[in-house]
Structure 1
Amino acid sequence: MNQPLAPGATIGIVGGGQLGRMLAMAAARLGYHTVVLEPDKACPAAEVVGHHIVASYDDGRALEQLAKLSDVVTYEFENVPVMAARSLADRVPLHPSAEALEAAQDRLSEKIFLNTIGIPTAPFVSVDNEGDLAQGLVRFGGNGVLKTRRLGYDGKGQRVFRQARPGDAGGVVAAMGAVPLILEGLVAFEREISIIAARGLDGTLAAYDPAENIHRNGILFQSTVPAAITDETADAAREAAYAILSALDYIGVIGVEFFVLPDGSLLVNEIAPRVHNSGHWTEAACAISQFEQHIRAIAGLPLGSTARHSDCTMENLIGSDQDRAPALLAEADLMLQLYGKAEARPGRKMGHFTRIRPRGDQIG
């Protein structure tokens, strides 16, 4: 794709969750049609896309149909089967690439990749059996987080060890499904931040200001901008994101999560090859949201400004929290986004809101 997509072109999206929904809305604003591949007939994106292919992500015929209907394809989550991504890439431009997707799907491979390009992470060991886990616990002084290497998100597929002994490893690997695991050493960090960055087809790089994140029960609860970090730490986060984008020859928006250590230095926690929950604040506090930025990047358009006109706090609405919508809408300087999900379940993200305030104002 040497020329930017013209208005009226079609963007394919693999995955029809809330991120796919918001990507489709951003695409429509720029004059593009959208088609989504998603097995759930009632997915959030179904209400806003032009065409919905109801099929599994690895359905060969569905992938062929998606490729035929699309001028470019992207995805909204990182657990798309890599073989499906490669199949699409053989037929139509795919951004981000299948290689970028694969790098982020396995936590062990991801950390090895990051360390290889000079970006530090928490210490880690691969765990395939109880002996590996016992040795890892000894290495990390009995403290660590055991995670599935694939498919875990929002705190799922994790177990925390504190002051554990080697004998405490008994039965744990089997209880977690006897799948490949990774044990990460616990890090004494001061706060968690993330940065949303983008790389265009022409190699242009852009990044939004880092957000400071608070998690509850493994799920992002709140993101605040600006983060309580120094300019030097913010610059380091930006440069790390740029290094990752360049090393992957990446096209589109990426989310990079960091631990901030007491001395202001950073460890990368994980990368997400897509628009990211902690970047939802950009809808309300920037002229160009992360969703429009992603569409611009994959369509070959110039990247937009990442300047922030307001300070803000974004908060997720989990489960029955969406019942707060009428009261929230009565507030001034608040932007609400509901995802159109039919059933509110505990732990399920149903929407989010962002409160904006003049830059430099203290949070009340």
Structure 2
Amino acid sequence: MKIGILGAGQLGRMLALAGYPLAMRFVFVDPAEDACAASLGETLQAPYLDETALQAFCERCDVATFEFENVPAHTAEFVAARRPLHPPPQALATAQDRLNEKKLFDDLGIPVPRYLPVATRQALDMAVRITGLPAVLKTRRMGYDGKGQAVLRKPDDLDAAWAALGAQPLILEAFVPFEREISCLAVRGRGGELAFYPVVENRHRDGILRLSTPQLADPLQAQAEDYARRVIEKLDYVGVLAFEFFVAEGQLFANEIAPRVHNSGHWSIEGAVCSQFENHLRAVAGLPLGSTAARGHSAMVNFIGSAPDTAALAAIEGVHVHLYDKAAKPKRKVGHATVTAESGEALAERVARLSALADAAEI
């Protein structure tokens, strides 16, 4: 089967690596000259709105998907009119706009922090009076890895935040004094079958994910699955969906969804019976889903800016290195490593060594 992927970044790369053992082949569309998945399939270098390239893309694939949520909605609709596209364009359009996302959560009875759309400087003042401080001002579109947002802790912060972000539609969210950040990865097949990975506890620094650790018996697993199921069924979703939550006073508050394979699921490559990447491909291709069970204790550490020495990484027992063939650049995800262990204690020791190498290599 020939799978078309809109986007040829590291997620597209890892999808292709998971699909080759299943005799799948790949075609990508990506505007970048140095797209890191390009070596793993036919790549059409073109803007996402180039309909000539999109037509050629459709002619070269049997089914299509996308690797990130900033693919233009028109692109998804163009492809969906010509080839099966999973997840559906509706999921993309919802996840691309934080206001649409929050409204969906409200409609489905999923708890969210108090939020208000903000279109003017005066509206920001009014919104702050309602949400109180601290609060987080975010762009409704395109923000990721800490970009496109500002934390407002005192009234004096409003002018600087507006100067930085106010040229585009915004949303103000009440700050959640969370104890943990977790994500729930779910996968749904074409026939409606559902499977869930263990919820993952995530640690960020500077808005960028650094460490993800699956929780093998988290008390909030069932609640996270219920909320993810509501979203997936409402959107008639096919493929992997990641749902990120804040945990405060033992309760879940929805943060955002990602309609794709997700950084917090990279542990599953070696840590689960069937990885998120293989399961996404199984879903979009109409194959039976694989087991989402964890193989044991595992974690994932991101490499930001620059990767540590490969020999030093390989010297740590249980470490599996995944480099993305991307040039070093500050705040860029250039790779990750998964680490597995026979016990929680051994995992913690290996994660500490791995994280120290990652921190020392960061630029």
TM > 0.5: yes
- Farther-moved stretch of structure 1 (271-280 vs 138-147): 138-147
How far the C-alpha of 1:359 sits from its partner, in A, is: 5.0
The separation in 1 between residues aligned to 2:164 and 2:341, in whole angstroms, is 47
Task: Indicate the SS of the match to 1:99.
Answer: helix
Q: 1:155 to 1:210 in 2, by over 3 A?
A: same
240, 243, 250: which is aligned to 2:237?
Answer: 250
Paired residues, number: 348
How far the C-alpha of 1:358 sits from its partner, in A, is: 2.0
The separation in 1 between residues aligned to 2:218 and 2:264, in whole angstroms, is 19
Identify the residue that residue 321 of structure 2 maps to in structure 1: 336
Q: 1:177 to 1:203 in 2, by over 3 A?
A: same
Pair 1:197 & 2:189 matched: no
CA deviations 1:159-216 (Å, max 9, x no partner) are 1011x22x65346434315100001100111100001110000000001001100001
Task: Indicate the SS of the match to 2:109.
Answer: coil
Identify the residue that residue 347 of structure 1 maps to in structure 2: 331
How far the C-alpha of 1:141 sits from its partner, in A, is: 2.1
CA contact (8 A) 2:131 2:174 kept: yes
The separation in 1 between residues aligned to 2:3 and 2:132, in whole angstroms, is 49
- Farther-moved stretch of structure 1 (114-123 vs 72-81): 114-123
12, 18, 22: which is aligned to 2:10?
Answer: 18
How far the C-alpha of 1:25 sits from its partner, in A, is: 1.1
CA contact (8 A) 1:173 1:179 kept: no
TM-score (norm 2): 0.93
Q: 1:168 to 1:345 in 2, by over 3 A?
A: closer
CA contact (8 A) 2:187 2:194 kept: yes
Matches within 5 A, 1:235-246: 235-246=222-233
Matches within 5 A, 1:65-104: 65-104=56-95
**Letter of the structure 2 residue corresponding to residue 207 of structure 1:** F
CA contact (8 A) 2:240 2:260 kept: yes
Matches within 5 A, 1:19-168: 19-49=11-41, 51-162=42-153, 164-165=154-155, 168=157
CA deviations 1:10-58 (Å, max 9, x no partner) are 1000001000000111111211110000111321101112x11010111
* CA-atom RMSD in angstroms: 1.4
CA deviations 1:235-288 (Å, max 9, x no partner) are 1011111111111100000111011112x2101100000000000000011121
Identify the residue that residue 307 of structure 1 maps to in structure 2: 293
Pair 1:214 & 2:203 matched: yes
Task: Indicate the SS of the match to 1:275.
Answer: coil
Task: Indicate the SS of the match to 2:313.
Answer: helix
Identify the residue that residue 3 of structure 1 maps to in structure 2: none
CA contact (8 A) 1:143 1:161 kept: yes
The separation in 2 between residues aligned to 1:203 and 1:145, in whole angstroms, is 36
The separation in 1 between residues aligned to 2:108 and 2:133, in whole angstroms, is 29
The separation in 2 between residues aligned to 1:187 and 1:174, in whole angstroms, is 24
**Letter of the structure 2 residue corresponding to residue 315 of structure 1:** V
CA contact (8 A) 2:137 2:161 kept: no
Structure 1 gap segments, 5+ residues each: 1-8
**Letter of the structure 2 residue corresponding to residue 281 of structure 1:** W
The separation in 1 between residues aligned to 2:91 and 2:288, in whole angstroms, is 21
How far the C-alpha of 1:304 sits from its partner, in A, is: 0.5
Q: 1:171 to 1:307 in 2, by over 3 A?
A: closer
How far the C-alpha of 1:139 sits from its partner, in A, is: 1.6
Task: Indicate the SS of the match to 2:308.
Answer: helix
CA contact (8 A) 2:120 2:166 kept: no
Q: 1:259 to 1:171 in 2, by over 3 A?
A: closer
The separation in 2 between residues aligned to 1:177 and 1:125, in whole angstroms, is 15
**Letter of the structure 1 residue corresponding to residue 289 of structure 2:** L
Give the ranges of 4+ consecutive aligned residues of structure 1 lying more than 4 Å apart after TM superposition: 359-362
The separation in 2 between residues aligned to 1:80 and 1:177, in whole angstroms, is 23
